[in-house]
Amino acid sequence: MINPERKHPGIALPVISGDGEFALPIAGRRAPTGPIRTVALIRPATVLPEMTYTTVVGAPSLALAYLSAVVRQTGRSVVAIDAFGEAPDAFTPIGDRGLCVNGLDIDDLVARIPGDVDLIGVSCMFSNEWPYHRRVINAIARRFPDTPIVLGGEHVSADPDYCFSCCPDILACVIGEGEDTLVDLIAALESGRDLTDVPGLALRIDDGGVHRTTKRSRRRALSGLPWPDWDGMPIENYLSRGIGHGVARVRSLPLLASRGCPFQCAFCSSPQMWGTRWDIRDVEDVVAEMKSLVATYRVNSFSFYDLTAIIRKDWILAFANRLIEERLNVTWNLPSG
């Protein structure tokens, strides 16, 4: 039985009871059927306190862009719906809770999902937004009762059991890096292969419990990944408003040169969530991506999302020298971790 008062460890979540706006639905699991031709990738809107001021509200979703790129690489159609990016100036109160939604509301988001979609993926990054995001997911499930729904992101990786308890209609949760797992999952759905053979998933089993498949090893060949696919996203809404994580309000896009962190700081969740392996892309691959974004979107600044980009002094020096040689005339910033 679902405990309506269960809370995420360490996170203060609203108590769920009755038939209110956060009530849990009762519904069955959905089973996939047919080939996967069109995939919808969704980033729900951001949730903010009504009485708040911040210079950084949101940023383009690098996770969604990478997932879109690997799915397109398989020849499938991708519809990416960035609810914040589509309506960054829209704010909708959430009842009387002192919170508001920044971006497309639930009805507008669901309306943008194509009717012929074969698979829906939803990115859920932050636990404080989960009470709203599960409403989004359950609304999608009601609108598309026969379409498999898959969740991914930091929050989902941290507690897939709780995600299943809140959203009983989802097919699977992706644990950890999503690119290879999503492509493998799509192939398994099309071939009829048992999903328990796909590494990196959490699945609901018949007795109501949750089964985790074999842990998927993190990708080492980062330069083998396609560059993030920004084409189907509302990038100009970000660029024209100067929305991003950089210190300057300019035409900025996120970039990732490395993944992971070798350290084990007591205050950080990275060692438990991702382990301590660190990998970095080739300098030439990173610089080539930057040149492409400058040419395509007139980007003049980059925000690196790396946990620890400065592990190798020789890499940083080689990177800086290549930027000087290329005369890109851009600014860039990175975390000092």
Average pLDDT over residues 105-124: 97
Q: List the beta bridge partners of residue 260.
A: 278
- Tokens standing for residue 314: 């020789």
- Tokens standing for residue 177: 């890096």
Return the pLDDT at 37.
95
Return the pLDDT at 33.
55
Buried b (16+ CB within 10 A) or exposed e, 34-54: eebebbbbbbbbbbbeeeeee
Return the pLDDT at 337.
60
C-alpha closest to that of 236 among 320, 156, 318, 296: 296
Residues 75-107: tens digit of each pLDDT? 999 999 999 999 999 999 988 878 999 999 999
Residue 249: pLDDT over 80: no
Range of 39-43, 203-207, 215-219, 330-334 with top mean pLDDT = 39-43
Residue 21: pLDDT over 80: no
Residue percentage of the chain with pLDDT more than 90: 64
**H or E stretch at 221:** none
Q: Answer whether 290's CB lies under 8 Å from 253's CB.
A: no
Whole-Å CA distances, 209 to 185, 204, 334: 20, 6, 41
Going by pLDDT thresholds of 50, 70 and 90, the confidence category of residue 8 is: very low
Residues 294-310: tens digit of each pLDDT? 999 999 999 999 988 88
Question: How is the beta sheet containing 91-93 ordered, strand by strand?
Answer: 46-49, 99-102, 91-93
Q: Answer whether 287's CB lies under 8 Å from 326's CB.
A: yes
Return the pLDDT at 165.
92
Buried b (16+ CB within 10 A) or exposed e, 66-90: bbbbbbbeeebbbbbbbbbbbbbeb
Select the CATH number that applies to the domain covering 38-212 from these four: 3.40.50.720, 3.40.80.10, 3.40.50.2300, 2.60.40.10: 3.40.50.2300
CA–CA distance, 285 with 296 (Å, rounded to integer):
16
The residue assigned the tokens 């991003």 is: 244
Return the pLDDT at 22.
40
Return the pLDDT at 25.
31
- Tell me the CA end-to-end span of the chain in Å, nearest whole number: 43
- pLDDT higher at 221 or 22: 221
Q: How is the chain split into domains, by residue range?
A: 38-212, 252-333
Return the pLDDT at 88.
94
- pLDDT higher at 303 or 16: 303
Residue 222: pLDDT over 90: no
CA–CA distance, 228 with 254 (Å, rounded to integer):
10
Report long-range pairs for 281-284 (Cβ below 8 Å, ≥24 apart). 281/222, 281/223, 281/256, 281/257, 282/223, 283/315, 283/318, 283/319, 283/322, 284/322
CATH architecture of the region 252-333: 2-Layer Sandwich (3.30)
CA–CA distance, 73 with 188 (Å, rounded to integer):
17
Average pLDDT over residues 53-68: 85
Residues 32-48: tens digit of each pLDDT? 557 899 999 999 999 98
Average pLDDT over residues 154-171: 93
Classify residue 206 by its DSSP letter.
Answer: T
CA–CA distance, 328 with 178 (Å, rounded to integer):
31
Return the pLDDT at 150.
97
Going by pLDDT thresholds of 50, 70 and 90, the confidence category of residue 336 is: low
Return the pLDDT at 56.
62
